[in-house]
Amino acid sequence: MATARLHLDPAFTVGPVRPRTFGAFVEHLGRCVYEGIFEPEHPEADDDGFRTDVLALTRELGATSVRYPGGNFVSGYRWEDGIGPVEKRPTRLDLAWHSSDPNHVGVDEYMTWCAKAGVEPMMAVNLGTRGVQEALDLLEYCNVPSGTYWSDLRRANGHEEPYRIKMWCLGNEMDGPWQIGHKTEHEYARLATETARAMRMIDPSIELIVCGSSASDMPTFGRWEATVLEEAYDYVDMISAHAYYWEKDGDLNSFLASAVNMDHFIDSVTAAADYVRAVKKSDKRINISFDEWNVWYMDRAESVPPTGDDWPVAPKLLEDHYNVADAVVVGNLLISLLRHTDRVASASLAQLVNVIAPIMTEKGGRAYRQTTFHPFAITAANATGDVLQVGIDAPTMTTTRFGDVKAIDAVATRDTDTGTTNLFVVNRAPEEATELRVDLRALSGFAENNISSVQAVTYHHDDHTWQATADDDTTVVPTANKTARIDGHELVIELPAISWSHIALSH
């Protein structure tokens, strides 16, 4: 069996773990809202129509924030349609997903749901078909206490206290030609800057996220970030990044190494932001909101919206069924996000329910966990304290897309309050198991026997194409990895091929 080694030292940290790294996303798309979080006719729906089984799974997942209402949807959205008496709300065409939206869920329902789920809201404004004024109206509705038209309307709608939403996205993927109201980088830079400047006049405490690129292979990537930030730098806090990965044309090795692309993407956006910082001679740093990331098989039939006169409410769209390899990739993408905790200030797994999601529902029936649920939930629950720098010596694997890459990838966090070091590790080799050895001397202060316990779980199945269903989401779950042991000054553990593991060390 091949051997890999990890080197870590608590003196070398990247920065604190940011709870916002574990955000998710709810878009008016397919069955994410309707039949996902909201289904008043469901036997487990609460008085507000929210599915309590989905709420429970959201909490178990450990989602910390939820972005809303889109996505591509937001670029044609009139937020005013979703407030006030439900029976008076209009049904509108959703051009982004060729669907109809009855607007039974809007800003107030979303905020009620966030409070129940215990997540921070992240609101996106429409900069596709709309502009500065509509963003200001929404902000006034949400964050101004009282005494103005929109704030008093919120109170009249039964929500006395202002929501004081902190995170606001200035549109969505405005670089994409598919976006309603798609813009050039110069057009978007102007609009985003003016919207941001005016929004800050209402509430200077908000955190604003300007649109970066919708993928690192967009033709405008890099130039878009620099141009937008040259104009918006002083008015925004973060720039967004979006990335989706899938096993394209059966190229499993490249897919398993997807985090190599995410690492490079984050480093490139950071470089573009810091280039503008240098030009502006600014002390301020712009961080990244990685507010859409996941595995998404976008070339499958599930991702094709209806056409013609068919404008259904909540059609089955983007309902990818994930396998074990997909879960390993999701776990690895989280490793990449955590390792960049110095610059990735927020992230959102896209999405939460039914639409490329860790949680699936049946209409009127069960809710269940997809394979990708597990690495996310375990990482969110255990990554606390500081992220440590990790040196990795590992055998390489060959990929068509990225050349030779390390077969092992890992990140470590150390929490001095709980006396725990947590390792999150993937073996992305398609066939080779690897023995991992971790030098513990620096971690245990060079004192012998200072590690009081080692607990490890591994997510793996000999058939990496296994998928969870509503009937069976428990055949493959993370299980104790009994090979984990202390050998002298090293932790030793065997990592099967295509596996994700969590190792907790108490000291």
- Cβ(110)–Cβ(68) below 8 Å: yes
Non-local CB neighbours of 265 within 8 Å, separated by 6+ positions: 216, 241, 243
- Cβ(353)–Cβ(36) below 8 Å: yes
Q: Which stretch binds ligand AHR (CB under 6 A): 65-73, 130-138, 219-227, 426-434?
A: 65-73
Query: Counting contacts by CB under 6 A, is residue 243 touching ligand AHR?
Result: no
Give the CA distances from residue 209 to residues 15, 137, 435, in Å, rounded to whole numbers and listed in that order: 21, 18, 42
Q: Which stretch binds ligand AHR (CB under 6 A): 16-24, 59-67, 70-78, 492-500?
A: 70-78
- Is residue 160 flagged as an active site residue? no
Least distance between ligand AHR and beta carbon 192 (Å): 16
Query: Counting contacts by CB under 6 A, is residue 94 touching ligand AHR?
Result: no
- Cβ(261)–Cβ(402) below 8 Å: yes
Non-local CB neighbours of 33 within 8 Å, separated by 6+ positions: 26, 27, 69, 105, 314
Give the CA distances from residue 499 to residues 247, 327, 371, in Å, rounded to whole numbers and listed in that order: 16, 9, 12
Instruction: Provide the CB-side half-sphere exposure for 52 (13 A, CA).
Output: 6
Query: Counting contacts by CB under 6 A, is residue 72 touching ligand AHR?
Result: yes
Non-local CB neighbours of 281 within 8 Å, separated by 6+ positions: none
Of residues 108, 134, 237, 292, which one binds ligand AHR by CB under 6 A?
Answer: 292
Q: In the complex with ligand AHR, which residue's Cβ is closer, 49 or 128?
A: 128
Q: In the complex with ligand AHR, which residue's Cβ is closer, 77 or 311?
A: 77
Least distance between ligand AHR and beta carbon 32 (Å): 9
Least distance between ligand AHR and beta carbon 214 (Å): 6
Q: How far apart are CA 317 and CA 97, in angstroms?
A: 9
Active-site option among 140, 173, 185, 231: 173
Measured in whole angstroms, how far is the alpha carbon of residue 138 from the centre of its chain?
A: 24
Between 344 and 383, how does the x/- string for binding to ligand AHR read (CB under 6 A)? ------xx--------------------------------
Least distance between ligand AHR and beta carbon 70 (Å): 5
Q: In the complex with ligand AHR, which residue's Cβ is closer, 137 or 173?
A: 173
Q: How far apart are CA 275 and CA 487, in angstroms?
A: 47
Of residues 23, 30, 36, 70, which one binds ligand AHR by CB under 6 A?
Answer: 70
By the criterion CB under 6 A, which residues form the site for ligand AHR? 27, 29, 70-72, 172-173, 214, 292, 350-351
Catalytic residue positions, numbered: 173, 292
